[in-house]
Chains A and B, each alone.
Chain A
Amino acid sequence: DAGVIQSPRHEVTEMGQEVTLRCKPISGHDYLFWYRQTMMRGLELLIYFNNNVPIDDSGMPEDRFSAKMPNASFSTLKIQPSEPRDSAVYFCASTIGSQERAQYFGPGTRLLVL
């Protein structure tokens, strides 16, 4: 299995631009999570899905952030408009609901907003 795939791996953009991060979970996994990691705040949960349905989006910072999961093999996290304080590493993770609490993380997308 290829593991969780994220793209792009690096993104540099200017303030005000739209940013779209992509994630392909491990085949067969029914939970998908989006996290953000910064030095100041550590690893934070933004939102998670179960069977493509958003379950908890209380971690989404503000309305500029949105996430979708149109099917079991694809999810996006969009930031519009982006701001410098959005600079962070964004991780996608997936797991199977019947297993222990082991989530499988992707390599992350390093976002820099200038």
Chain B
Amino acid sequence: LAKTTQPISMDSYEGQEVNITCSHNNIATNDYITWYQQFPSQGPRFIIQGYKTKVTNEVASLFIPADRKSSTLSLPRVSLSDTAVYYCLVGEGNQAGTALIFGKGTTLSVSS
């Protein structure tokens, strides 16, 4: 499994766009990039997944450059409720049954 590196923490203000970058230099050809969000006292929640280029859903966008050695989670116009820990995961294929390996994550703090 490819190792991921992401900032330990980030600060932002309400209404701003937040970009969290994850490095995964050893990503394999079959690896997908997945992001989870975790609020205090709750289990992680799936946000978005991508393989290359750009993926967008109702919550976030995921930008993946051509070399796929990094990826950026973009949260548009954050609010206080987006304060959470965000995890970047890289794993083989599109296999839901594959175990997830979580790193330390990025703690995002949004202030008013």
Residues on A facing B (Cβ under 8 Å): 4, 31, 33, 42-45, 48, 50, 55-56, 59, 91, 93, 95-108
> Inside 8 A of B49's CB, which chain A residues have their CB?
100-102
Residues on B facing A (Cβ under 8 Å): 32, 34, 41-46, 49, 87, 89, 91, 94-105
**Quick one: which of A42, A43, A50, A59 has the most chain B CB within 10 A?**
A43
Known: A101-B91, A101-B94. A48 touches B43 (CB 8 A): no
Taken together as a complex, chains A and B put the C-alpha atoms of A93 and B42 apart, in Å, by: 12
Residue among A42, A50, A96, A102 making CB contact with B102, cutoff 8 Å: A42
Q: List 29 A-B contacts (CB under 8 A).
A: A31-B96, A31-B97, A33-B100, A42-B102, A42-B105, A45-B99, A59-B99, A93-B43, A95-B96, A96-B96, A100-B32, A100-B34, A100-B96, A101-B32, A101-B34, A101-B89, A101-B91, A101-B94, A101-B98, A102-B34, A102-B96, A103-B96, A103-B100, A105-B42, A105-B44, A107-B41, A107-B42, A108-B41, A108-B42
CB distance from A36 to the nearest CB of B (A): 11
Known: A91-B43, A107-B43, A108-B42. A48 touches B99 (CB 8 A): yes
> Inside 8 A of B89's CB, which chain A residues have their CB?
101
> Inside 8 A of A105's CB, which chain B residues have their CB?
42-45
**Number of contacts between A and B (CB, 8 Å)?**
68
- Complex contact A101–B100 (CB within 8 A): yes
Is the contact region of chain B dominated by helix, strand, or loop, or is it mixed?
loop
> Inside 8 A of B100's CB, which chain A residues have their CB?
33, 45, 101, 103
> Inside 8 A of B42's CB, which chain A residues have their CB?
105, 107-108
A110 and chain B: residue at smallest CB distance:
B41
- Complex contact B43–A102 (CB within 8 A): no
> Inside 8 A of B95's CB, which chain A residues have their CB?
97, 101
> Inside 8 A of A106's CB, which chain B residues have their CB?
43
- Complex contact B44–A99 (CB within 8 A): no
- Complex contact A97–B43 (CB within 8 A): no
B101 and chain A: residue at smallest CB distance:
A45
- Complex contact A99–B96 (CB within 8 A): yes
Taken together as a complex, chains A and B put the C-alpha atoms of A111 and B32 apart, in Å, by: 33
